[in-house]
Structure 1
């Protein structure tokens, strides 16, 4: 006999230092056309905050990058994110269409998530976007600390484009902090887990990765619901 299926519960948001820090930089970049590069470990909440901000604000375009993208794929995905439903043409035409579309928006913000997955040839687009949209469109590069290490190594080796990228982000990568136990407790409480022993166990097992936290909370929710239904 198959176990009774339990409907998944929605994930409740709890504000963390990472979330509030990112929202502050998103707002600054959007309303003042600023450019920032933000780095944080995998699972620290970068993508969650970006999706939330894009859902709550107009003219905010969040793009999750992938390592297999070439230049044309990147521009196709970006045009779709902006709202252009039938992107096409060569790279130059698509670049022009992207810039034109962003100029038509009021206070646009482009969040390039997982930027460390992009090849050099695609990452160079950041330089062009900065040059063509400066003061009109905010840009946020988000990645793991690997991007900062990559840019620093490229600068040291005098590789093409790396010094230009570093200059355009203000010669600084903004590091995000790891989730604290107090913040994790707030996340657990928001998602119906309040037992202190359970929270402590989750904190020590998650290693700062909120994806792991979500899995652990889901597992404990499911266990609690099953016990209630028995």
Structure 2
């Protein structure tokens, strides 16, 4: 990777790798300051356990809880962590191509079976690999079944984490009630439980405000009132205050 940087071949380097380089060289971008909220700490703790012990788990947190930022930071600072932000349009081949690309493996000219073998073989050669399927509730049933295949071939050799909003829990519970194909297996493999992240509380919001330049008590209380447990709303409120000169 460093050779590519020095050669100016930047387009071949993934965003995750750039973040990893930045973290390892101590680079800190100016701008929004992240704060280790309760949800951030819980998400990081879950990621550490999943990678260290090759666990399979599902973590749910509402939009704006900060889970994706925690995943991005953990991915940038860790080794052999593969973070995929899932999409509704993915089919099986797209899913596997994205994962192989994330791992730096060649994806062209192979069948679905070859791609699966490539994924498994590559991961088995890694030390404590971790796959994070972010926004996993967006995956089609066909692609979600691949989660079972990955688990079956990589049990105790690779951590796998599904993360999403509570929609993932509702979807899997509905699939169980309707006895839909594969849902009982998925539920079993995540340990028949969902790790639920806490919503940001007033202390979390206040800490975010202070870290980003808003220290006035009245201003902080106003942000807390407007936040409704969503850190994205906190960010917008703080920026508005900073631009308006209210600190």
Alignment TM-score, normalising by the size of structure 2: 0.84
Q: Structure 1: which 5+ runs fail to align? A: 1-7
Q: Structure 2: which 5+ runs fail to align? A: 1-28
Across the aligned residues of Structure 1 and Structure 2, the Cα RMSD in angstroms comes to 1.7
110, 129, 140: which one pairs with 1:119? 140
After TM superposition, the structure 1 = structure 2 runs for residues 1-230 of structure 1, keeping only pairs within 5 Å, are 9-84=30-105, 86-224=107-245
Aligned residues: 219
Contact 1:40 1:145 (C-alpha < 8 Å) held by counterparts: yes
Q: CA deviation at 1:199?
A: 1.5
How has the CA–CA distance of structure 1 residues 142 and 203 changed in structure 2, closer, same or farther, with 3 Å as cutoff? same
For residue 124 of structure 1, give the secondary structure of its aligned residue in structure 2: helix
Name the structure, 1 or 2, with higher relative contact order (CA <8 Å, separation 6+). Answer: 1
How has the CA–CA distance of structure 1 residues 173 and 208 changed in structure 2, closer, same or farther, with 3 Å as cutoff? same
Distance in 2 between residues matched to 1:92 and 1:99, nearest whole Å: 11
User: Which stretch of the first structure deviates more once superposed, 94-103 or 33-42?
Assistant: 94-103
Q: CA deviation at 1:100?
A: 1.4
Moved segments of 4+, more than 6 Å: none
User: Which stretch of the first structure deviates more once superposed, 87-96 or 170-179?
Assistant: 87-96
Distance in 1 between residues matched to 2:141 and 2:183, nearest whole Å: 9
Distance in 2 between residues matched to 1:129 and 1:142, nearest whole Å: 16
Distance in 1 between residues matched to 2:30 and 2:220, nearest whole Å: 19
Distance in 2 between residues matched to 1:196 and 1:79, nearest whole Å: 49
Q: CA deviation at 1:90?
A: 2.1
For residue 141 of structure 1, give the secondary structure of its aligned residue in structure 2: strand
